[in-house]
Structure 1
């Protein structure tokens, strides 16, 4: 496949494919070396050495700390997030498999979600971009509205990305009382849906909701400072909140003075969880079942078997487990992490559970943490 990027005259490569560290200046211009080097801020891209000073001042990979009142560094994290690089041996895996097998009641299973047509029919009718992801959003919206005992003053979408879940929810609410949607994400994705919330409201003749977007890591997000005093009741939502971000969100919620009436977080990527990001009550629950920090990271590694275990071309792995057994163990490991979160919320007076919100044919990451007071 040919690269479609253009290149300068007399140069063999475009800037995307130029070899790093090689002087590409023509022989007649040897006094002006032309070398492509990795960006010192973000090595995923490169820059001409001669332009390094100006590039560093505007590189999108720069970490710029917000000066907003809601920014409070590490307010939702007591110790730095760590990642284990230790390669477990087979005995470690076997030991952890025994631990997770004992930790989860054999009869436990996530509750299935029965979709209510009255909640999602309007979304299907009005959303022309009805796709696989749209179906997941619709099921989550149905779950959110089913859980909601009282209408909150604000919806907080953690790991909001483009803000699609908030948009779907706003479409389903479809009433004249404006809501506040607070979208929290550490990245600034393209094609954000923020303006769509206003456009949808105006198109259907009701007052647009307020939308706040905060570009911040959840560990640094002080929820109380982001909301006016009169906004006392919140609902926390998210679609596929990755790994440790889920635990940081739960810390953020439980450390807030606001009343959280409902939590609905579609879970994913448990292999990216961190021991230090877990709530203290989650850590204690794990330790009571013999899962310390070292074992926890092995459990996290095995959670990926729940989604990769179906690769039938891998007859057995290094432990002699076939694909079906790997998938079963991967699900057990996921359940251990999820149930520790449910326990932590219970210790804060929030009743939670794990729900299977959509069939695995739509997504293998089909579990959702739901909770309400």
Structure 2
């Protein structure tokens, strides 16, 4: 009998490494006896899917009862459900702006990349051409003022020069991105060095907020090294790290060694986080930050901070709630964005972008990071002539398929289209922030040679100043 499963994994170009069962050539995940007998885990149907190569996203029906008893997420799920800040789907958004015709289109709430690709490649040549024209026109209309803003402040020198605890992982490209996020926050007037400032305790009895240190909520915190730099360089006193997954080599150990800093890690999906119900954050002002919040996580974080919260109201009901002072969120992975979660559906609909076109736009964004970025090609204002097609060209595409058209596009053309689509998505988010009365900007916080994922949404309440 073979020592390993004989199921071939084309993506890894090898056989499955799991040992086969009994007299079979296959492991339990790939055995033919499981066909038609598999059911999703009722605790969390997605938690095994992440490791689908070695672990099926389903469980044998005959083993289901035993699996549920020992499911590793069961205890975590039960513990989370009783937390006051857990509210299932509170920040998810709704499909509330679709017409009945669009609602019956058959598209579900969560659209996979393959489904998005099928939407694009299911178009005719002229339809695809018209979509490119609409993208270019929309980009010309709303994406006029996205500035380069690579800001490295003196406060971050200890990290830039590597003068930090050697136990902390140091990668220059990540340090430069983190430093520029904080530099932009300082430049925008929402951050300063708080060493020696008072503990974050909301409004003081004398009404003076000048020396009060805001709390910091990092969304999608991962290992927490953006917060680590913030604490090291600016003297933040209270931090909340929001992350749904567990990580090794976290910054928590180093952060907890700071006697003046209070750290709380919330292991929860941003979609389910009711920030108003976090007891330790009540009565406090806070800054929301996030580095590379993938796809819909940006929309979930924005809605978590702003929706269902009258943060500018000075009513008795709102005084004990956390008060957003400002935010800085570096967006990422726009190809994962979903229509349901997107914050500014109304804005795009008013501009003539349908749900299907939005999904196609998100799929195009992956082309921005496909190219080699040895040169900065993210300035689409100098490159978008690649996408200037005449109406006659559109008519000539009647016999062409989308596959033919895409093959005729070179790498730079595809990258330019991808960057344009990224900017359109983020500008919609910027407009949404402005609707809430925040002073907001969308900037490129690092050159694309450092990272092609270089958009930073930065905003502050108009009555807030860190100095």
TM-score (structure 1 length as normaliser): 0.81
Work out the CA distance in 2 between the residues paired with 1:307 and 1:135: 19
Work out the CA distance in 1 between the residues paired with 2:425 and 2:332: 11
Work out the CA distance in 2 between the residues paired with 1:198 and 1:11: 50
How many equivalent pairs are there? 342
Q: 2:413 maps to which residue?
A: 325
Q: Does 2:170 match 1:130?
A: yes
8 Å CA contact 1:154–1:231 kept in 2: the answer is no
CA deviations on 1:156-187 (whole Å, 9 max, x unpaired) are 1111111111111101114xxx6211111111
Q: 1:290 maps to which residue?
A: 352
User: Shift of residue 55 of structure 1?
Assistant: 4.6
CA deviations on 1:81-101 (whole Å, 9 max, x unpaired) are 421625122444323221221
Work out the CA distance in 2 between the residues paired with 1:311 and 1:352: 28
- Cα 1:34–1:115 change in 2 (3 A) is closer
Alignment of 1:230-249 (within 5 A): 230-249=282-301
Q: 1:218 maps to which residue?
A: 270
Q: 1:24 maps to which residue?
A: 22
Among 357, 360, 363, which residue is 2:451 paired with?
363
User: Shift of residue 122 of structure 1?
Assistant: 2.4
User: Shift of residue 35 of structure 1?
Assistant: 5.3
CA RMSD in angstroms comes to: 3.1
SS at match of 2:29: strand
Work out the CA distance in 2 between the residues paired with 1:152 and 1:340: 31
User: Shift of residue 264 of structure 1?
Assistant: 0.6
User: Shift of residue 349 of structure 1?
Assistant: 0.6
User: Shift of residue 53 of structure 1?
Assistant: 5.5
Q: 1:119 maps to which residue?
A: 155
Q: 2:4 maps to which residue?
A: 13
Q: 1:108 maps to which residue?
A: 144
TM-score (structure 2 length as normaliser): 0.66
Among 237, 244, 251, which residue is 1:193 paired with?
251
Work out the CA distance in 2 between the residues paired with 1:245 and 1:138: 22
Q: 2:339 maps to which residue?
A: 275
CA deviations on 1:249-278 (whole Å, 9 max, x unpaired) are 111111234332211111111111111111
- Unmatched 5+ residue regions in structure 2? 6-14, 31-37, 42-47, 96-108, 192-211, 312-321, 375-403, 462-467
Work out the CA distance in 2 between the residues paired with 1:311 and 1:96: 26
Work out the CA distance in 2 between the residues paired with 1:229 and 1:157: 13
Among 217, 221, 237, which residue is 1:156 paired with?
217
Work out the CA distance in 1 between the residues paired with 2:368 and 2:158: 34
Q: 2:84 maps to which residue?
A: 69
User: Shift of residue 367 of structure 1?
Assistant: 1.2
Work out the CA distance in 2 between the residues paired with 1:156 and 1:195: 18
Q: 2:181 maps to which residue?
A: 140
8 Å CA contact 2:150–2:447 kept in 1: the answer is no
CA deviations on 1:124-177 (whole Å, 9 max, x unpaired) are 343244312222222222223333436653111111111111111101114xxx
- Unmatched 5+ residue regions in structure 1? 1-9, 27-32, 202-206
Q: 2:323 maps to which residue?
A: 259
8 Å CA contact 1:152–1:261 kept in 2: the answer is no
SS at match of 1:304: helix
Work out the CA distance in 2 between the residues paired with 1:335 and 1:35: 46
SS at match of 2:441: strand
Work out the CA distance in 2 between the residues paired with 1:13 and 1:114: 51
- Cα 1:371–1:152 change in 2 (3 A) is farther
